[in-house]
Chains A and B, each alone.
Chain A
C-alpha cells in the first residue's frame, strides 16, 4: 500500500537554530500534503496545506515565516522550523493526499528544543 515517510523521527536542537523535517510519498505522487502539529494529550492541529509548485496555505494563527514549507516535487514536502524556541517542541506529522484515496500519514517527528 501507499507509504508516507517522514524524516527525522526525532530531533533535538538548541534554541535559535532551524530544523528541517522531510515528508516523502514513497510510491505515489502527492500534489497536496498537509502538516499537523500535536502537543501531548491533545489532538492533531492542521498547520498548513502544501501544494506542489505553489505557495503553502497556512491555517489561522500559524506563522508562515516561522514554519517554512516547500513542496518542490510531487513526492517531497519539507517543513522548516526557523529560529526554534522551546514552545515549538511538539510532534509534527505530515500526510499526503492521493486521488480517490484516504490520507496517508507519516510516523511523525518529535522535536525537542532546548
Chain B
C-alpha cells in the first residue's frame, strides 16, 4: 500500500478554519485519497474522499494537488466536536478493498 505522511498533531481555535495536510508522493493512478476521523473510544468515521478534483461535502473540503502527491483536508469552522485523530488513507477504488491506517493527526480544538 502506498504510504501517507501526516503531522502528529495540530491545534486550532474554535470557529477558525483548519487545514490538515497529507503527503502521498508514491500515490498510484488508481488510488483514491480518503479521509477518516476517529473520536475517542469510537470507530473511525468517513469524512471525504477524492481522486483528482477538489471535493466538498457537508463535513469538509478536500483540496488535491495537481500532481496528486499531497492533499489537504479543510474544516471550514472548527468546533470542539471536531477534536479527533484524522487519518489520510490511499485506497484503490475496488469493491472490498481494505484500508491501511497510518498514525494520523491528532487535532486539538481550543475554545
List 29 A-B residue pairs with CB atoms under 8 Å apart, sorted by A's residue number: A4-B43, A31-B96, A32-B95, A32-B96, A34-B98, A34-B99, A36-B101, A43-B101, A43-B103, A44-B38, A44-B101, A45-B101, A46-B99, A46-B101, A93-B43, A95-B43, A95-B99, A97-B96, A97-B97, A100-B95, A102-B34, A103-B46, A103-B99, A105-B36, A105-B43, A105-B44, A105-B45, A108-B41, A108-B43
Residues of A within 8 A of B95 (CB): 31-32, 97, 99-100
A33-52 interface with B by 8 A CB criterion: 34, 36, 43-46, 49
Interface of B is mostly: loop
Q: Could you give, for residues 24-54 of chain B, a 1 whenever the CB lies within 8 Å of some chain A CB and a 0 otherwise?
A: 0000000000101010011111100100000
Residues of B within 8 A of A110 (CB): 41
Interface of A is mostly: strand
Task: Say yes or no: A49-B43 contact (C-beta < 8 A), given A43-B103, A43-B104, A102-B49.
Answer: no
List 10 additional A-B contacts (Cβ < 8 Å) besides A6-B43, A43-B101, A100-B93. A32-B95, A34-B99, A44-B38, A45-B101, A95-B44, A97-B96, A105-B43, A105-B44, A107-B42, A107-B43
Chain B interface size, under 10 / 10 to 19 / 20 to 34 / 35 or more: 20 to 34
